[in-house]
Amino acid sequence: MVFATKERRPLITPDLKPKLHAYMAGTVKSLGCHVHALDGVADHCHLVFDLAPKLALADFANKLKAGATGWAREDGHREFGWQRGYRAFSMNQESLESAVQYVKNQESHHAKTSFRDELEGFMKLHGMEVDPEFVDGLEPPLCQKE
């Protein structure tokens, strides 16, 4: 699973990152799921996890993101928030270790590859249409007058 900060702003600062990731890992565990890897950079997070059979993916994502946002704001990071949505990809057991290593190497990976290029590659690899709202981090207006 991958999701970005609101407007792709670099809100996950070096001082926030370890505390935020620890909070998120605790949330994942409290939802009955298992974290294999969780990491990211200033504007997004990657998570490799086993989803509990009784939990819908959308419910998992909503609880994780809402909880982390509330916690970060209470911790003094008032501007913190996630963009709408997420992307999730399933994998087989043979792919697990390479996915875990990929997530653990986010800092070095993003020194060479932009988040946009990374997302486009994931989406194309999995036969998904590239969604500009998600890839570019822009939210559509709440309502549009005709």
The DSSP code sequence of 39-101 is EEETTEEEEEEEPPTTS-HHHHHHHHHHHHHHHHHHTT-TT--B-S--B-----GGGHHHHHH
Which among 129, 115, 138, 139 has a CA at the least distance from the CA of 2? 115
Instruction: Give a yes or no: residue 113 inside a domain.
Output: yes
- Predicted TM-score (pTM) above 0.95: no
**Of 106, 85, 81, nearest to 5 (Cα)?**
81
Q: For residue 82, what are the domain limits?
A: 2-136
pLDDT score of 135: 63
Count of CB atoms within 10 A of residue 71's CB? 17
The DSSP output letter for 7 is G
> Residue 51 falls within a domain, yes or no?
yes
Q: What is the pLDDT of residue 137?
A: 60
- Any domain includes 105: yes
Q: Does residue 38 lie within any of the structural domains? A: yes
pLDDT truncated to tens, each residue of the chain (146 aa)?
999 999 889 999 999 999 999 999 999 999 999 999 999 999 999 999 999 999 999 999 999 999 999 999 999 999 999 998 888 889 999 999 999 998 998 777 566 776 666 767 667 776 777 666 666 665 554 444 44
- Specify if 144 maps to a domain: no
Cβ pair 43, 12 in contact under 8 A: yes
Residue 106: per-residue pLDDT: 79
As for how many domains the chain has, the answer is 1
* pLDDT for position 133: 65
What CATH number is attached to the domain comprising 25? 3.30.70.1290
pLDDT of residue 87: 86
H-helix or E-strand containing 36? Answer: strand 34-41
